[in-house]
């Protein structure tokens, strides 16, 4: 159970045969093509996102809370009901 599944080449061949049987040989090239296209789009979007982060200067828009708070302490009312 602790072994890696992909270490054994026989298991990889069996896995590929099962994939061919389940999906059919005609659909595999189309599926691989669309998977490659999706990966290319994903990589380009990630690259564009990282480029956008490098171009924009980092601004701190959060306002800082004051260090000291002004006010007075109000003592709780004494128990007057006896």
- How far apart are the C-alpha atoms of 46 and 51, rounded to whole Å? 9
Q: How confident is the model at residue 46 (pLDDT cuts 50, 70, 90)?
A: very high
User: What is the Cβ-side half-sphere exposure of residue 63, based on CA atoms within 13 angstroms?
Assistant: 2
Query: Across residues 42-69, what is the average pLDDT?
Result: 75
pTM: 0.42
Mean confidence (pLDDT) of the chain: 79
Overall domain count for the chain:
1
Whether residue 79 lies inside any domain: the answer is no
* Whether pLDDT at 1 is above 50: no
In a domain, 48, yes or no: yes
Q: Residues 36-57: what's their mean pLDDT?
A: 86
Query: Would you place residue 69 in the very low, low, confident or very high pLDDT band (cuts 50, 70, 90)?
Result: confident
In a domain, 78, yes or no: no
CA distance 42 to 34: 12
Domain that holds residue 27: 9-52
Going by the DSSP 8-state scheme, the letter that residue 26 receives in this structure is: T
In a domain, 16, yes or no: yes
Side-chain-facing half-sphere of 7: CA atoms under 13 Å: 5
Domain assignment of residue 35, yes or no:
yes
Question: Is 64 a member of any domain?
Answer: no
CATH assignment of the domain containing 18: 1.20.5
pLDDT of res. 44: 94
Assess if residue 23 is contained within a domain: yes
Q: What phi and psi, each to the nearest 5 degrees, are found at residue 58?
A: -80, 125
């Amino acid at each position: 159970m602790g072994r890696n599944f992909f270490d054994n080449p026989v298991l990889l061949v069996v896995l590929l045969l099962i994939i061919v049987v389940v999906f059919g040989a005609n659909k595999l090239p189309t599926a691989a093509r669309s998977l490659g296209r999706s990966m290319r789009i994903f990589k380009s979007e990630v690259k564009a996102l990282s480029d956008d982060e490098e171009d924009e200067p980092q601004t701190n828009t959060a306002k800082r809370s004051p260090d000291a708070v002004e006010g007075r302490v109000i003592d709780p009312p004494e128990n007057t009901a006896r």
